[in-house]
Amino acid sequence: MGYKVFIDGAFGTVGLQIYDRLHSRRDIELLTIEEEKKFDENERKVMINSADIVFLCLPDDVARRAVQLIGNENTRVIDASTAHRTAWTYGFPELSSQMREEIVSSKRVANPGCHASGAISIIYPLRSFGLIDASAALSCFSITGYSGGGINMIEQYEDEVRSKLLSSPRLYSLGQNHKHIPEIMKLCRLEKQPVFCPIVSDYYCGMATTVTLHASELRGKPNIMQLREMFSEYYSGSRFISVSSETHDPLAANALCGTNNMVICINGSDECITFTSVFDNLGKGASGAAVQNMNLMLSLPEEAGLE
């Protein structure tokens, strides 16, 4: 058999998606716990310390506790929760060659948040190009399918008897306290918190994260064609991220469901520009990114299980 992998929290949305991507692979041996023992800490501890890679698909506090159960110095961890995103190696290999190398060699990798993945895929290059400063006043909105809310929200939306309010897009975290903001600020080296508006809507999966800017806010005032060329060059070596050379109007948030792909679309006018990252919140925004990071950490083909 291949590398031993344990999914701690395999009964949740992300854990189930990771399992689906791995269970038929011959280079992976999945360690599993019987249903009635899935909350047994001693049983989980045995599995965690028997694995080469552990996925933590758990609430933040439970994920922190799971890390404390590790006694095997060779056990490596990919945490899909928010618990370690500003402390561990950040699992977004396309951002830089240095970040990719850190993921390959790290024992502790934090999987990016879904909304954060979209925002960072745009803001990080803008900062790297020197087009915006750390003090830039950024505004971002991000729409997601209801699967991003986990099993409880999925059941809520798919209930035959449900509130009519679920049939329209719903804005949330309006207090500007969304849990993905800290990782966006740290990774993009921002001094000023972006105004961030997440939206959940009545479709299963898919995400479109948009950063809006006036052209006058970009140093050198590049036009849309120049920005597309800059972003295309930035992500030219990426297996999963591409930049569209076309204008998209309308732009569907669920266009890449079922894939680990991400497409960045740059639209607008000479004065106002929208940068939109389109991807699957369960793919590149969660389980797909986690499997991609695992492949890198185990020196396996990056696209294995993600075709």
Catalytically annotated residues: 114
Closest of 276, 268, 267, 266 to residue 206, by C-alpha:
276
Helices 13-22 and 288-297, interaxial angle, to 10°?
50
Listed in sequence order, the residues at least 6 apart from 77 whose beta carbon sits closer than 8 Å to its beta carbon are 53, 54, 55, 56, 67, 70, 107, 108, 109
Closest of 151, 145, 291, 147 to residue 209, by C-alpha:
145
Contact by Cβ (8 Å): 306, 90: no
List Cα–Cα distances, 162 to 117, 153, 154, 202, 257, in angstroms: 31, 11, 12, 12, 25
Which regions of the chain does DSSP assign to beta strands (E)?
Answer: 3-8, 28-31, 53-56, 76-79, 89-90, 108-110, 139-145, 170-171, 195-201, 207-214, 241-243, 262-268, 272-279
Distance from C-alpha of 143 to C-alpha of 133, rounded to nearest angstrom: 26
Residue 208 CB: number of other CB atoms within 10 A? 23
Structure tokens given for 198: 């997440």
User: What secondary structure does DSSP assign to 280-293, as a single string?
Assistant: -TTIIIIIHHHHHH
Closest of 67, 14, 61, 23 to residue 45, by C-alpha:
67
